[in-house]
Structures are given as structure tokens and as C-alpha cells.
Amino acid sequence: MSAGVRHSISRIWRWPIVLALLTAFGLLSALLGQGGVWWILSWITLIIPLVVIAVSVVRRQRPALS
């Protein structure tokens, strides 16, 4: 693989991997944590991917200004 292909692959997959790791951490902290801070962290980390999805949907539906 050339350097340009590697760069584009890492650029494409960077944020999906970050969101997947956040989701996995949130699920594990909700399941294994003993309440308190762990449940708060799980809520925060599970809300972040939902906010990203909502923002991307709103951006796609907004008409382009020309």
C-alpha cells in the first residue's frame, strides 16, 4: 500500500473507531461499574455517539446556501 492509501484509510476510520471505543467503554462501565461515577461515565460516553449522529443528520437536512 502506498502512503496516500494508508493516510486516507486512517482518515476515514479514525472517528468511527473513536466512537466505537467510547460506546464499548460506556457499555462496560454500565455493566461492570458499581454505580456512582461509573454510571455517570457510562451515560456520558453513550450519549456522545447519539449526539454525533443527530448533528450529522441535521447537517444533511439543512439546505445548502448558495
Q: Which residue segment(s) compose the domain that 27 sits in?
A: 17-61
pTM: 0.74
Taking alpha carbons only, the member of 16, 10, 44 closest to residue 29 is: 44
Residue 42 lies in a domain: yes
Residue 56 lies in a domain: yes
Cell numbers at residue 59, please? 447537517
When divided into structural domains, the chain yields a total of: 1
Residue 4 lies in a domain: no
Given a contact cutoff of 8 angstroms between Cβ atoms, the answer to whether 24 and 16 are in contact is: no
Residue 51 lies in a domain: yes
pLDDT band for 62, please (50, 70, 90 cuts): confident
For all residues of the chain together, what is the average pLDDT?
Answer: 88
> What pLDDT does 66 receive?
61
Given a contact cutoff of 8 angstroms between Cβ atoms, the answer to whether 49 and 16 are in contact is: no
> What pLDDT does 3 receive?
64
Q: Helix 37-61 to helix 3-32 angle, to the nearest 10 degrees?
A: 140
> What pLDDT does 2 receive?
63
Cell numbers at residue 64, please? 445548502
